Amino acid sequence: MSAVDVPTRVPVVVIGGGPAGLLLARLLALGGVDAVVLERRSRAHVMSRIRAGVLERGTVETLVEAGVGDRMDHDGTVHDGVGLAFGDRHLRIDFAGLTGRGVMVYGQTEVQKDLFAAVDAAGIPVVDCADDVRPHDVDSDTPYVTYVHEGRQHRIDCDWVAGCDGSHGVSRTCIPPTVLRTYERLYPFGWVGVLSETPPVDAELIYAHHERGFALCSMRHSMLSRYYVQCSVDDRVEEWSDDRFWDELSARLPGEVAARLVTGPSIEKSITPLRSFVAEPLRYGRLLLAGDAGHVVPPTGAKGLNLAVSDVRYLAAALIDAVRHRTTTGIDGYSDRALARVWKCVRFSWWLTTLMHRFADRADFDLRVQEAELDYLAGSEAAQRSFAENYVGLPF
């Protein structure tokens, strides 16, 4: 969008045009609150990013309420369970039977596409390729945001700034070190991931624990599969040929699963490092953080996008109350409310990561405890219900 189409004052400036930022702008518009979205990347770049595709029930309901659920309902696939493979066992956790709910498999790229269509149709200003975005005076009652677009600097005055610009964005850096507290756990491995135009190896996701390392079998649809294997944190993607990847994946799956594996050329390949990170608080004056700007989880538990959506759901309601009804009760409680759910999801993602991966520096004792926990999970309905409740999503 051309900068001339952007108002110089709005109630809310949203920094970041990923799913969190666009969903927030959409929910605000439905609540009668105007916003401008500033995104430093091009739309083509944003649309090219390959991300997770497991949506919790609360996320599905929020997207439907936002009016962007039609394609998801038509093209997405509901999964009522998930597989855990260890040794030569293939344990199925029955989500539907244990919780009465399942998850929706629908790629984040598709969610992004749906959100772009909705904000465009609603006329919500989205400035792509916005350089040098900087919030100012967020600790005052008169914040504003500056940015450079097509070589010219612009300013937008606002009441609130929503930082939805990811873990490397500018928003979190505006919180003084004397106020910001951060918590981080770095994992000594990564995932090499492959996207291939092949049928999935199973109708549901499979998480595999193996002496050679972790593996995950997932999918986007009936002819697009997404697979991952644990790798060294120092590996480079060029070191992983397609043949090496398929051989390693097959070796880490139970025999009966590996026998169904259909291989083919990769159409996308990348290495993802794993970490857990939380910043507190998620509010500083008139600045509010949501999604990866405030927290990052390893992809093991499929919580990243879902946490962003829960943040945005809380934040949208709080901002609508602040702008339309002149009450900051929701804003005042936003950080604590969001972080309470964030930490529960951080715990689950950490637990599943430590349960399913091999740690090179761990003693035999730790490995035996890991195996015992998997065996306990296989034989305990209570343990499986706890797993299912966390995986399908805690209440929003």
CATH number of the domain where residue 65 is located: 3.50.50.60
Respond yes or no: is residue 391 known to be catalytic: yes
Q: Same domain for 261 and 221?
A: yes
Q: Same domain for 146 and 33?
A: yes
- Which pLDDT tens digit goes with each residue over 184-240? 999 999 999 999 999 999 999 999 999 999 999 999 888 999 999 999 999 999 999
364: Cα within 13 Å, side-chain hemisphere: 0
Catalytic residue selected from 79, 210, 295, 357: 79
Judge whether residue 4 has pLDDT over 60: no
Q: Same domain for 217 and 339?
A: no
CATH of the domain at 229: 3.30.9.10
The token pair at 194 is 């492959």
Domain count of the chain? 2
Greatest distance between any 2 Cα atoms in the chain: 64
- Which pLDDT tens digit goes with each residue over 286-326? 999 999 999 999 999 999 999 999 999 999 999 999 999 99
Respond yes or no: is residue 183 known to be catalytic: no
pLDDT of res. 334: 98
Residue 155 lies in a domain: yes
Cβ(128)–Cβ(113) below 8 Å: no
The token pair at 241 is 């040929």
Q: Which domain holds residue 283?
A: 3-79+103-183+275-352
Catalytic residue selected from 125, 135, 143, 299: 299
Q: Same domain for 306 and 173?
A: yes
pLDDT of res. 258: 96
pLDDT of res. 235: 97
Respond yes or no: is residue 136 known to be catalytic: no
Token pair 């995950």 is at which residue? 216
Q: Same domain for 178 and 114?
A: yes
Mean pLDDT of the 14-42 span:
98
Distant-in-sequence, close-in-space partners of 274: CB < 8 Å, separation ≥ 6: 186, 187, 189, 190, 191, 298, 299, 300, 353
Residue 95 lies in a domain: no
Q: Same domain for 280 and 172?
A: yes
Q: Same domain for 269 and 341?
A: no
375: Cα within 13 Å, side-chain hemisphere: 7
pLDDT of res. 3: 45
Q: Same domain for 308 and 165?
A: yes
- State the amino acid at position 197 in one-letter form: E
Catalytic residue selected from 144, 207, 227, 314: 207
Mean pLDDT of the 390-395 span:
97
Residue 86 lies in a domain: no
Q: At what angle do helices 364-379 and 381-392 cross, to 10 degrees?
A: 90
Mean pLDDT of the 277-285 span:
98
Residue 84 lies in a domain: no
Respond yes or no: is residue 113 known to be catalytic: no
Mean pLDDT of the 375-394 span:
98
Catalytic residue selected from 106, 147, 187, 391: 391
- Which pLDDT tens digit goes with each residue over 64-80? 999 999 999 999 999 99
Judge whether residue 49 has pLDDT over 80: no
Judge whether residue 123 has pLDDT over 90: yes
Best CA proximity match to 107, nearest among 166, 29, 55, 70: 55
CA 155/CA 351 separation, integer angstroms: 44
Mean pLDDT of the 95-123 span:
96
pLDDT of res. 222: 87
Respond yes or no: is residue 299 known to be catalytic: yes
Mean pLDDT of the 361-382 span:
94
Judge whether residue 50 has pLDDT over 80: no
pLDDT of res. 33: 98
pTM: 0.96
Residue 108 lies in a domain: yes
Which of 47-61, 109-123, 266-280, 286-300 shows the lowest mean pLDDT across its residues?
47-61
pLDDT of res. 333: 98
CA distance to 54, 81, 220, 264, 343, per residue, from 105 (Å): 5, 12, 7, 22, 24
Q: Same domain for 285 and 331?
A: yes
CA 298/CA 187 separation, integer angstroms: 9
Catalytic residue selected from 303, 314, 334, 357: 303
pLDDT of res. 130: 97
Mean pLDDT of the 151-159 span:
97
- State the amino acid at position 128 in one-letter form: D
Q: Same domain for 253 and 110?
A: no
What percent of the chain stands above pLDDT 70? 98
- Which pLDDT tens digit goes with each residue over 228-255? 999 999 999 999 999 999 999 999 999 9
Q: Same domain for 143 and 57?
A: yes
Mean pLDDT of the 367-395 span:
97
- State the amino acid at position 75 in one-letter form: D
Residue 90 lies in a domain: no
Residue 324 lies in a domain: yes
Torsional class of 27: left (φ above 0), alpha (ψ -120 to 50), beta (otherwise): alpha
Q: Same domain for 347 and 368?
A: no
Judge whether residue 52 has pLDDT over 80: no
Residue 243 lies in a domain: yes
pLDDT of res. 342: 98
Reduced 3-state DSSP string for the chain: CCHHHCCCECCEEEECCCHHHHHHHHHHHHCCCCEEEECCCCHHHHHHCCCCCEECHHHHHHHHHCCCCHHHHHHCEEECEEEEEECCEEEEEEHHHHHCCCEEECCHHHHHHHHHHHHHHHCCCEECCCEEEEEECCCCCCCEEEEEECCEEEEEECCEEEECCCCCCCHHHHCCCCCCEEEEEEEEEEEEEEEECCCCCCCCCEEEECCCCCEEEEEEECCEEEEEEEEECCCCHHHCCHHHHHHHHHHHCCHHHHCCCCCCCEEEEEEEEEEEEEEECCEECCEEECHHHCEECCHHHCCHHHHHHHHHHHHHHHHHHHHHCCCCHHHHHHHHHHHHHHHHHHHHHHHHHHHHCCCCCCCHHHHHHHHHHHHHHHHCHHHHHHHHHHHHCCCC
